[in-house]
């Protein structure tokens, strides 16, 4: 499995504000969206293009475009939806699916309560969106659901990843590439990422 940690001064700057407990809901939400855009840019670096002819105000020319119909984005509810605006701004015509999961507070394992994706999902490359890769449980389950639907190429985009989550995903799905803006130190006893940024869902939606 390949893991891509996006290193850039702008990313580091935005992450510093994102992690700060003083950062409010509005700014936190905007930063998650902006970082998602940057992750999408990196994850789409190997996107296939096809030649088209267009006409500029000056002349006709041949150029290249991406076929957005070959892609789908699947946020893991609820925090993953916080990344959608940033992704859609880059690929507005890609289809969107959803995976709904919640974490059991005692076992820390995810439980699936909702799963809906485009009918032709098996013909698309899928990018899973979740701000946090902690234990890896939610991501692993989401990948398995998509593979059961026949999806062959999957990438996982997250803002912050823990080494434990990366290791767990590597063991279960070595074919899935991970894109993150930071590989943090570890998980604590409550399975929160350290230093992390707290509960991404609560901070995106202002529920705490």
Looking at residue 104, what is its pLDDT? 73
- Give the Cα-Cα-Cα angle 193, 170, 160 (nearest 5 degrees): 25
Give the other-Cβ count within 10 Å of 196's Cβ: 20
Asked if the model's pLDDT at residue 71 lies above 90, the reply is yes
User: Which residues belong to the active site?
Assistant: 103, 107, 199, 202
pLDDT at 26 over 80: yes
Closest alpha carbon to 39 in 58, 15, 63: 15
Q: HSE of 51 in the Cβ direction (CA atoms, 13 Å)?
A: 2
| Each residue's pLDDT tens digit, 51-68 | 999 999 999 999 999 998
- Please list the alpha-helical segments (H only) found in the chain: 9-19, 25-43, 84-88, 137-148, 163-172, 200-205
pLDDT of residue 171: 95
Q: Is residue 46 over pLDDT 70?
A: yes
pLDDT tens profile 90-119? 888 889 999 998 767 777 677 888 999 999
Q: Lowest-pLDDT range, 1-5, 40-44, 121-125, 133-137? A: 1-5
Q: How far is CA 85 from CA 35, 57, 73, 82, in A?
A: 11, 31, 11, 7
Which whole number is the average pLDDT over 34-50? 94
Instruction: Determine the pLDDT at residue 108.
Output: 65
Residue 112's pLDDT is what? 83
- Check residue 36 and report its DSSP letter: H
- What's the alpha-carbon Rg for the chain, to the nearest Å? 17
Q: How confident is the model at residue 27, as a pLDDT?
A: 96
The structural domains of the chain, ordered by start, are: 3-205 (3.40.50.2020)
Q: Is 158 helix (H, G, I), strand (E, B) or coil?
A: strand
Place of tokens 């390949």: 2
């Amino acid at each position: 499995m390949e893991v891509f940690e996006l290193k850039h001064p702008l990313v580091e700057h935005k992450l510093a504000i994102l992690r700060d407990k003083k950062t409010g809901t509005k700014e936190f939400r905007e930063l998650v969206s902006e970082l998602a855009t940057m992750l999408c840019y990196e994850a789409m670096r190997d996107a296939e293009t096809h030649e088209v002819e267009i006409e500029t105000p000056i002349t006709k020319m041949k150029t290249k475009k991406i076929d957005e119909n070959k892609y789908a984005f699947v946020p893991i509810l609820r925090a993953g939806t916080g990344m959608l605006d940033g992704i859609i701004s880059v690929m507005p015509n890609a289809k969107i699916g959803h995976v709904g999961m919640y974490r059991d507070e005692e076992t820390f394992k995810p439980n699936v309560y909702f799963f809906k994706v485009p009918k032709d999902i098996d013909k698309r490359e899928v990018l899973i969106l979740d701000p946090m890769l902690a234990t890896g449980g939610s991501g692993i389950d989401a990948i398995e659901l998509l593979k059961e639907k026949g999806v062959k190429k999957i990438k996982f985009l997250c803002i912050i990843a823990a080494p434990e989550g990366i290791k767990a995903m590597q063991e279960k799905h070595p074919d899935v590439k991970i894109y993150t803006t930071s590989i943090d130190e570890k998980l604590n006893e409550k399975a929160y990422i350290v230093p992390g940024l707290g509960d991404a869902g609560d901070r995106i939606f202002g529920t705490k």
